[in-house]
Each structure stands twice: as C-alpha cells, then as structure tokens.
Amino acid sequence: MSISSLEWTAAAACRNGHREVFFPPAHLEHREERSAREELAKRICKDCPVRLECLDQAVSNREIHGIWGGLNEEERRRLTR
Ligand code: SF4
C-alpha cells in the first residue's frame, strides 16, 4: 500500500484519538459496554468526510476488529457477503 493511498486519513474525524472508542478493550467487554462504545464511535463516523475511504480500506484489508467507516466487524462481513 502506498503512502498516498492513506492521504484520506488526514481528514478523518477520529484523527485526534478516540482509539478506545473504535476498538475493543483488552479486557472482556460486556454486550452493553460494547453497544455503548460502538454507538459513540458510529456517531463520530456519521459526519466523517472520509467515511467511504475508511470503509473501503477496512474491507480491502479484511480488518477484523473495530469500527471502520461506521460499521463494526459483523456489519462489514454482511456487507461483503
Ligand atoms: S469513518 Fe470513522 S473510523 Fe473511519 S476515519 Fe472516519 S471517524 Fe475514523
């Protein structure tokens, strides 16, 4: 992957952090915690100007963790079926 293909990340709404919102914690995460965390992440993604680029990158790389382009792992799997 070339560096230029990641230029979109400069415009990402999450570029200033929030990793803990987009990815699961190291400890066991209960369903309610996960739902609340993912809801927060999706709210950030909703108005992100590079949402499609982000989603495309995640699908292309078969990212198995986290919220990318406003979708979680299961939602991305469903999208590609
Ligand atoms: S769509 Fe969401 S995860 Fe992707 S760059 Fe934008 S804010 Fe970050």
Phi, psi dihedral angles at 71 (to 5 degrees)? -120, 145
Helix (H) / strand (E) containing 77: helix 73-80
Going by C-alpha positions, the residue among 41, 46, 27 that lies closest to residue 72 is 41
Q: pLDDT confidence of 17, banded at 50, 70, 90?
A: confident
Indicate if the pLDDT at residue 28 is higher than 50: yes
* Of 38, 9, 43, nearest in space to 21 by CA: 38
What does the alpha-carbon distance between residue 73 and residue 80 come to, in Å, rounded to a whole number? 11
pTM summary value: 0.90
* Helix ranges, 15-62 (H): 19-22, 31-46, 51-60
Instruction: Name the residue of 7, 8, 14 whose CB sits within 8 Å of the most ligand 1 atoms, as the mutation to test its pocket.
Output: 14
pLDDT digits (tens, 9 = 90+) for 31-68: 999 999 999 999 999 999 999 999 999 999 999 999 99
